[in-house]
A and B are shown apart, each in its own frame.
Chain A
């Protein structure tokens, strides 16, 4: 089982790569030049490739594809880590209120930020946004954890209900902000609730990439640790697993991942629920395999959904949160049915 992980990873990466190429060519605009000509045109100035080709290729399509890959991966890994920490297949950032907490703080940052936006460079503006979202995610996560976990055992009901409570609060504040906002802010705020990768830029991708590299450094290798935690915290400690340190790291880095994702793409739900669920059907709850595969297959899922969202009603697009909700809600129901007796 452990040896096969490399094979599964290679297959998944291949799938992702093919999907990315495919997605590059989907859309209303058709490229005039060939793939290699466009790539070369970024490195040398003397080519016959049109500016429109380059713009669509890089700033519209590729940056959006890269963002889908990064955010899909981040959300899937966050979901898997949370499920390991809470020892429950329903723990995903959106169901337990972390996404709402993050988008709440992000929305506040947008409204506040419109006052200082003209004065600071783009990087800081986006960093401020993602830091606010991170703070929101971190606070929410800590609150939910404190409420729902006593002595290492998670009360699932409390976990989900605190998610309901926080989502309700987020909804209320968001509604208020929408009510009092100017038109310009309204457009930004409305897309929060539905999620969209349309605002992809290379700056945002850079920030996302840094966040992911940092978080994955700590999280991706935690497969063994999460498996051991299924035995209970005391037995995991007997096996030499540093339980408290692990929990702190998971809280911190999933908050970072979710915060950054929400800051740039709004509320995209269910990715953290769908991918681990499907992987569990094949591999059982073996986090050693599920964690790394989630990182790649999360990207595949979001990229696929995004490609569909912008081609199915071209030239306009369906907000991606709608598509992931369509996929995720039935899976949520299936998990409930499967665990009817134990939840």
Chain B
């Protein structure tokens, strides 16, 4: 569904991405993880048509650059971090922007329903008449997540959603709810590509993990094969242990230097 070969990207002599191959099928939740500076956000930007690289990215067999942006906006959406942008609008109007690809002047009842549903999914419905600027960081984050979700509520098959660190500033309940919402989204044949920091949440929800370091891909496989003690401690340059998560039956990564702490306890 989305394919890119030999993706490289440099910024002023500094190579951020080095010849990365990426491909993903329908109905999968891919999580991109890696240490800071690995190039995760850059890769996401290139795959989502925000940045241009020399490689061609094929979305549904067609080069991304050849898609018309208004049509593309009904097939794919991206959530990015909104750093401190002042938006003097009501929350409802911010979420409604997700439906802009669908109406010229007046939103239809379908649009308004989609907005309502998305607001319920990210638990911001009770905030809908509030001034966006008065919300907390986590609430603003959820408003934008609702906006991105509502953008893809349509009858098109096999849509694509990109999420760059969607869980920042969210409390545990909402972190899980968002990931579950995304999982439901992929269960309908859509694909989600998410950048996360939390390895355990990644292990719990991802279908495949794309592990990066220094602009290169180090592993791209199911969580059980990627999250081994050898791979994780080498990539993150930090000792860790892998055990089984009692709730999700997936790998659970615990960081820390076991021997050092045992010595302290004695």
Residues of A within 8 A of B (CB): 1-3, 221, 224, 227-228, 230-232, 234-235, 237-242, 280, 284-286, 288, 342
Contacts and interface: CB of A to CB of B under 8 A. Distances in A.
Interface in B172-213: none
Contacts, number: 71
Given A221-B105, A285-B87, 13 more contacts: A1-B93, A228-B100, A230-B85, A231-B97, A232-B80, A232-B85, A235-B82, A237-B69, A240-B73, A240-B101, A241-B69, A284-B89, A285-B89
Interface string B63-86: 000000111111011101010011
B77 A238 contact: yes
Nearest to B72: A240
A230 B50 contact: no
Contacts of A232: 80, 82, 85
B48 A239 contact: no
B121 interface: no
A228 B97 contact: yes
B48 A285 contact: no
Given A237-B50, A284-B88, A231 B105 contact: no
A342 B86 contact: yes
17 contacts: A1-B93, A2-B106, A2-B107, A224-B105, A227-B89, A227-B100, A231-B97, A232-B82, A234-B80, A235-B82, A239-B97, A239-B100, A240-B73, A280-B88, A284-B89, A284-B90, A288-B105
A180 to B, nearest CB: 47
Contacts of A284: 88-90, 93, 131
Contacts of B39: none
B interface SS class: mixed
Contact of A242 (B69, B88, B151): B69
A284 B48 CA distance: 31
Contact of B89 (A2, A230, A234, A342): A230
B89 A231 contact: no
B166 interface: no
Contact of B151 (A234, A239, A285): A239
A238 B48 contact: yes
Given A228-B100, A232-B82, A240 B106 contact: no
B251 interface: no
Contacts of B100: 224, 227-228, 239-241
Chain A contact residues: helix, strand, loop or mixed: loop
B98 interface: yes
Contacts of A3: 106
Contacts of A234: 50, 80
Contacts of A286: 89, 93
Contacts of B74: 240
Contacts of B104: 221, 224
B89 A239 contact: no
Contacts of B101: 239-240
Contacts of B70: 240
Contacts of B107: 2
A337 to B, nearest CB: 16
Contacts of A288: 105
Contacts of A221: 104-105
A84 to B, nearest CB: 12
Contacts of B88: 230, 280, 284-285
Q: Which 7 A-B pairs have the closest CB atoms?
A: A240-B73, A240-B70, A285-B88, A240-B101, A239-B100, A2-B106, A238-B78
| Most chain B CB neighbours (cut-off 10 Å) among A228, A235, A241, A280 | A235
Nearest to A233: B50
B87 A240 contact: no
A238 B69 CA distance: 7
Contact of A235 (B80, B89, B93): B80
Contacts of A1: 93
A242 B82 CA distance: 20
A280 B89 CA distance: 10
A90 B71 CA distance: 35
B97 A227 contact: yes
Given A230-B85, A230-B87, A239 B93 contact: no
A12 to B, nearest CB: 18
A3 B112 CA distance: 13
Q: Name the residue in A242, A284, A342 with the highest tally of chain B Cβ atoms < 10 Å from its Cβ.
A: A284
A91 to B, nearest CB: 14
B121 to A, nearest CB: 19
